Amino acid sequence: MRKRLEVVRQRMTVGIAAVVLLTGLAGCAGGSEPNESGEAQQSGTTNESGGGTSAAGNEKITIKLMQFKIEITDKVKAMAADYMAEHPNVVIETQVTKDYETLLKTRFASGDEPDVFMTKAFTDIADWSDKLADLSNEPWMASVSPSAVDGMTVNGQKLGFPVAFEGYGFIYNKDLFAKAGIDQVPTTLTELKQANEKLKAANISSYTEGYKEWWVLGQHLFNLPFAYEKDPVASIDKINKGEIKVSDIANMNGFFDVLDQTVTYGKGAESVGSSYDNQVSDFASGKTAMMQQGVWTIDSIVKINPDIKMGMFAIPLNDTAADTKMPVGVPGYYVINKNAKNLDECKKFLTWLHDNGQKYLVDSFKLIPAFTDLKTTPELGPLAADLSAYVEKNQTIPWAHTLWPTGANQEFAKPLQAYVGGMLSKEKTLEEVQKIWDDRVKK
């Protein structure tokens, strides 16, 4: 873990500032996190090839594709269908699942290994690196945005195909803010509390938060106090070595203040039972004024309410406005199993996806491209315009959860959910988080 953190420290000297390449953004959507039932979705039919890296005649080649972007499942299936139409000897099996990390490990353990799958930056891609093909010399690699390279580089090898740039904060309904007399977005904890009070006075519910989902609470929201550290890598390294505790993180009290506000001015303890779908549906239909989510939600929102006026602002954890920044980064990469039966065909597929990236990654998937030769369009929506404003002002922070001990994010959600449900105190919650952290470091 310490060796891995040192590698990450060196990469983060380049840091999120490199994301200035995003300043031309006009809007965004897409997604990095699941939002539906989690059942496997498949495109094409199962027809295993006989092995090797190419097929002769009418012999079918099968590519097993696995990813966690459930909100674009249908679009991924359509993309796969297009590829199969252009390559009649290829069958792409697509599986998109909610419990992604568990199923991915299960498939590798059972021998049903995917050929192309998704993994996250830094620690996750490092954990899988011994099973991944080196993509350093692929033709599209020269077009990868510089800020997307570090998160998928291990021992000098570039192992990933960056899917998108993403960021998150509080997405808000501009009409409901105006109705409550809120004329500017909050930039401090005090201002956030004042905004919530104004919404309450106007009989408007502030939040439906999807705390049923581990990643909404245990990863995204809990990422903030660590990301707000002056040196996230150094702070996390100190926790790993037992020099400081999780409770010593400077903005930890601010995190709990925000969490308390989302509960108090939202669904209360019932927030633990609210899913991602509940969260997006309530916001899109105007039942709530805000939700803690990211640019990937826009497509789901406008499907419900195409006329909604919305924006996104960074979540404050203290009363210093200059400290309030937005997490921006690359959420995931396509990688290739180096033991794939049809390795060359898998590489051809990623090359095709890049060559057609404007059509699929941008126009269809509604993602902010992490390639310099792909362009964002105004049709992507309003959220990335707000994201880019933070980037232009250099008001961004990293996705520090990529530095946590592997698998800790899902475990952190459990005591945090218990806190939201009124079953644990803040002190006991932090004790449980610390225990999870220490146990994970020892593994």
> What's the domain count of the chain?
2
The whole-angstrom separation of Cα 405 and Cα 166 is 22
pLDDT of residue 48: 33
- Domain check: are 314 and 335 in the same one? no
The whole-angstrom separation of Cα 146 and Cα 143 is 9
The whole-angstrom separation of Cα 289 and Cα 266 is 10
280 within domain boundaries: yes
239 within domain boundaries: yes
Give the strand pairing for 61-67 and 90-96.
parallel
- Domain check: are 160 and 199 in the same one? no
- Domain check: are 155 and 177 in the same one? no
pLDDT of residue 19: 44
Alpha helices in 187-251 (DSSP H): 189-201, 214-215, 222-227, 232-240
- Domain check: are 196 and 256 in the same one? yes
pLDDT of residue 12: 52
- Domain check: are 232 and 118 in the same one? no
Which residues, 6+ apart, have CB-to-CB distance to 377 below 8 Å?
Answer: 26, 27, 362, 363
Give the range of the structural domain holding residue 355, as residue numbers without chain letter: 29-165+330-375
139 within domain boundaries: yes
Residue 416, both tokens: 């945090």
13 within domain boundaries: no
- Domain check: are 59 and 150 in the same one? yes
Which residues, 6+ apart, have CB-to-CB distance to 130 below 8 Å?
Answer: none
pLDDT in tens, the chain (443 residues): 544 555 455 455 444 434 433 433 333 333 334 333 232 333 333 333 333 344 445 689 999 999 988 878 899 999 999 999 999 999 999 998 878 989 999 999 999 999 999 998 888 899 999 999 999 999 999 999 887 898 899 999 999 999 988 899 999 999 999 999 999 999 999 999 999 999 999 999 999 999 999 999 999 999 999 999 999 989 999 999 999 999 999 999 999 999 999 999 999 999 999 999 999 999 999 999 999 999 989 889 999 999 999 999 999 999 999 999 999 888 889 999 999 999 999 999 999 999 999 999 999 988 888 898 998 777 778 998 898 788 778 788 988 998 899 889 999 999 999 999 999 999 999 999 999 999 999 87
- Domain check: are 228 and 369 in the same one? no
- Domain check: are 153 and 276 in the same one? no
Please provide the average confidence, as pLDDT, over all residues in the chain. Answer: 87
Q: What angle do CA 7, 11, 12 make, to 5 degrees?
A: 115
- Domain check: are 347 and 400 in the same one? no
pLDDT of residue 9: 52
Residue in the structure block whose two tokens are 């904060």: 169
9 within domain boundaries: no
- Domain check: are 285 and 175 in the same one? yes
- Domain check: are 81 and 101 in the same one? yes
Last residue of a domain, one of 316, 345, 375: 375
pTM of the full predicted structure? Answer: 0.72
383 within domain boundaries: no
5 within domain boundaries: no
The whole-angstrom separation of Cα 116 and Cα 212 is 29
The whole-angstrom separation of Cα 413 and Cα 101 is 15
97 within domain boundaries: yes
- Domain check: are 49 and 82 in the same one? yes
pLDDT of residue 223: 97
The whole-angstrom separation of Cα 199 and Cα 328 is 28
CATH, residue 300: 3.40.190.10
